[in-house]
């Protein structure tokens, strides 16, 4: 497995459903719309999860880069709960 740097990784998942976990424990599941040069994230159709429990649909969300713990592609779009 080769090393993947952040910018090519973020470009490869733009337009796909992702899960973004923040340093504070919240998770956001939505479609990655855009990433700017500072790696701030724009998501749409976003759902919020706290302690793996769905707390609500937020719609469009902007996440500042320094709050992100990790971002990953969502494997299964059909799941409604985070596991």
pLDDT digits (tens, 9 = 90+) for 42-74: 999 999 999 999 999 999 999 999 999 999 999
Q: How far apart are the first and last CA of the chain?
A: 26
Residue 80 reports pLDDT greater than 50: no
Residue 75: predicted pLDDT: 84
CATH of domain 8-73: 2.30.30.100
Residue 4: predicted pLDDT: 75
**What sign does the CA torsion over 68, 72, 78, 79 have?**
negative
Q: Mean per-residue pLDDT for 27-34?
A: 98
- pTM for the whole thing? 0.83
Q: What span, in angstroms and rounded, lies between the C-alpha atoms of 2 and 14?
A: 20
Task: List the chain domain ranges.
Answer: 8-73
Q: Mean per-residue pLDDT for 3-31?
A: 93
E-strand ranges in 2-83 read 17-22, 27-35, 41-50, 53-63, 68-73
């Amino acid at each position: 497995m080769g090393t993947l740097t952040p910018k090519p990784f973020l470009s490869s998942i733009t337009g796909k459903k992702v899960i973004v976990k923040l340093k504070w424990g919240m998770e956001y599941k939505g479609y990655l719309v855009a990433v700017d040069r500072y790696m701030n994230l724009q998501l749409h159709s976003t759902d919020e999860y706290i302690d793996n429990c769905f707390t609500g649909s937020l719609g469009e969300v902007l996440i500042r880069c320094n709050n992100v713990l990790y971002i990953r592609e969502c494997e299964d779009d059909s799941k409604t709960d985070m596991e």
